Amino acid sequence: MKKEDRSSSTSPQPTPESGDSKNENQQVKPLRRRSFLKRISAASAATMGAGLLANSSSVFAQEGPEEHSGRLTRGDAALLRFAAAAEIIETDFWVQYNELGGIPDAEVPGGSGNAPYTAALAVLDEDMAQYIHDNTDDEFTHQNFLNAYLASKRADTLSLEQFRTLPGSSATGSSGKLRLTNLTQLTLDTSWWTRYRSSTKNPDLGDTFPQAIPTLAVGQHTAIPRTDDDLADPNFLQAIANTATFHFPTIEQGGNSLYPSMAQRATHVEVLRILISIGPTETMHFQTWSDKAGNAPALTAVDPVTGVSVTFPDLNSPPFGGEDFQTNLIMPEPCPFLSRKLPVVSIIRPTATKGIAMGVVKFLTDMGLFRGQSPQFFAFMRDLAEDADEARRGIR
């Protein structure tokens, strides 16, 4: 895809509230569902040049099964809008990784690279920078496509630009632009590692799984150099690169479950097609990153700023090792599915559909990805998730 094709919705988009504190207050309390969305989407559609929401001031007065009398049910539109939000969030943090450890270029612009961080990532695989670039590129296209598709069906599009308030890294190579997400205070649940290696357990059947990297599941860890001071100690810098490399699959396995879970409640076949066509690319990302994470060199490091310690163990040696930890076992182990009475099968898990969107918001929040975000941001994300979780499959 050419750069200019996507620039319209990746550059900052004005909102009707810009520079108007009175309106900003109005949008905060109370955060009324749909009316808030309506104002944002009107701005988004305008910047996309779609011009399809010209009557948006009255659209929510219309009742009926289809959003704005367009061609999507309200449920389908809500599913796609939540997916768009997830993709915008993914794009935001992948851009941060690409600026410092990927390949900034015309395809994925922003930043100029940080050589020591890029080198630390390359310890895991010499192609890391290329993979980071390509994953970032994919997320850009996901968010752009979903919003363009919504607009083409006269449904509300989505922008999170008014929440772009977090400072991000000031290390060499960072563009310094404001961010939606925070990569410097992460708490990572790495139980996906053992979940996909278990042949007897499935989270949809109520099972739980041990962490691959227990110290990442507690405390707060940075996955990017916060300043150039973080480049001084090679051991700590490698810990930062290792943390990033475990963050990648931790995120992508979430998308890996989100899409099939939401797809079960799509009504139109074309919306189903979108969800089941984007979802597997998240799976391809997850598979790649889970392989790279297995290359993380064993080490222990202490964050010189926070005093928090992290240990990356040798996952192939006791007390780790065996089928639940061995690093080259990256294919999903067959596991129980739907019922333990049925034979095991190699599948994505979890894929239960109930409450999936709210579950994803909680997952990302617990990860610390939104540390520093405003109460309005969390209310907005909950609102989007609630609408998506209310979607019910119909027959069309």
Whether the link from the prior residue into 332 is cis, omega within 30° of 0, is no
Count of residues that bind Fe ion according to CB under 5 A: 4
Among 165, 140, 162, residue whose Cα is nearest residue 43: 162
Q: Which stretch binds Fe ion (CB under 5 A): 12-20, 122-130, 139-147, 172-180?
A: 139-147
* Cβ burial 86-123 (10 Å sphere, 16+ → b, else e): bbbbbbbbbbbbbbbbbbbeebbebbebbebbbbbbeb
304 vs 1: CA distance, rounded Å:
42
- Which residue lies nearer to Fe ion by CB, 6 or 142? 142
Options 134, 139, 387, 389; binder of Fe ion; rule CB under 5 A: 139
Options 142, 153, 197, 221; binder of Fe ion; rule CB under 5 A: 142
* Residues contacting residue 303 through CB under 8 Å, at least 6 positions apart: 221, 222, 236, 309, 310
- Which residue lies nearer to Fe ion by CB, 141 or 172? 141
Q: Is the dihedral of CA 233, 239, 245, 251 positive or negative?
A: negative
- Which residue lies nearer to Fe ion by CB, 90 or 156? 90
- Which residue lies nearer to Fe ion by CB, 68 or 142? 142
User: Nearest approach, Cβ of 81 to Fe ion (angstroms)?
Assistant: 15
330 vs 247: CA distance, rounded Å:
16
User: Nearest approach, Cβ of 255 to Fe ion (angstroms)?
Assistant: 5
**In this structure, what are the phi and psi dihedrals at residue 162, rounded to the nearest 5 degrees?**
-70, -10
Binding mask 32-71 for Fe ion (x = CB under 5 A): ----------------------------------------
| Residue 285 is a binding residue for Fe ion (CB under 5 A) | no
- Which residue lies nearer to Fe ion by CB, 5 or 229? 5
Shortest-Cβ-distance residue relative to Fe ion: 142
In the range 71-100, which residues lie near Fe ion by CB under 5 A? 87, 90
Q: Which stretch binds Fe ion (CB under 5 A): 136-144, 200-208, 259-267, 295-303?
A: 136-144
User: Nearest approach, Cβ of 144 to Fe ion (angstroms)?
Assistant: 11
- Which residue lies nearer to Fe ion by CB, 137 or 387? 137
Cross-strand pairs, 221: 186
User: Nearest approach, Cβ of 364 to Fe ion (angstroms)?
Assistant: 13
- Which residue lies nearer to Fe ion by CB, 225 or 359? 359
Among 68, 81, 128, 82, residue whose Cα is nearest residue 101: 128
Q: Which stretch binds Fe ion (CB under 5 A): 63-71, 131-139, 291-299, 386-394?
A: 131-139
- Which residue lies nearer to Fe ion by CB, 259 or 325? 259
CB 245 within 8 A of CB 285: no
User: Nearest approach, Cβ of 130 to Fe ion (angstroms)?
Assistant: 18
* Amino acid at the residue 171: A
- Which residue lies nearer to Fe ion by CB, 94 or 325? 94
- Which residue lies nearer to Fe ion by CB, 27 or 253? 253
In the range 315-344, which residues lie near Fe ion by CB under 5 A? none
User: Nearest approach, Cβ of 321 to Fe ion (angstroms)?
Assistant: 33
Whose structure tokens read 């099968």?
345
CB 223 within 8 A of CB 169: no
- DSSP label at 208? -
User: Nearest approach, Cβ of 90 to Fe ion (angstroms)?
Assistant: 5
165 vs 111: CA distance, rounded Å:
18
- Which residue lies nearer to Fe ion by CB, 211 or 287? 287
Among 20, 27, 12, residue whose Cα is nearest residue 383: 27
CB 36 within 8 A of CB 26: no
User: Nearest approach, Cβ of 139 to Fe ion (angstroms)?
Assistant: 5
Go through the chain and tell me how many residues it has. Answer: 396
Grouping H, G, I as helix, E, B as strand and the rest as coil, residue 41 is helix
Q: Which stretch binds Fe ion (CB under 5 A): 55-63, 141-149, 168-176, 385-393?
A: 141-149
Q: Which stretch binds Fe ion (CB under 5 A): 4-12, 142-150, 152-160, 295-303?
A: 142-150
Among 85, 167, 150, 140, residue whose Cα is nearest residue 378: 85
User: Nearest approach, Cβ of 143 to Fe ion (angstroms)?
Assistant: 8
370 alpha carbon, distance to own chain's centre: 11
Residues lying near Fe ion in the complex (CB under 5 A): 87, 90, 139, 142
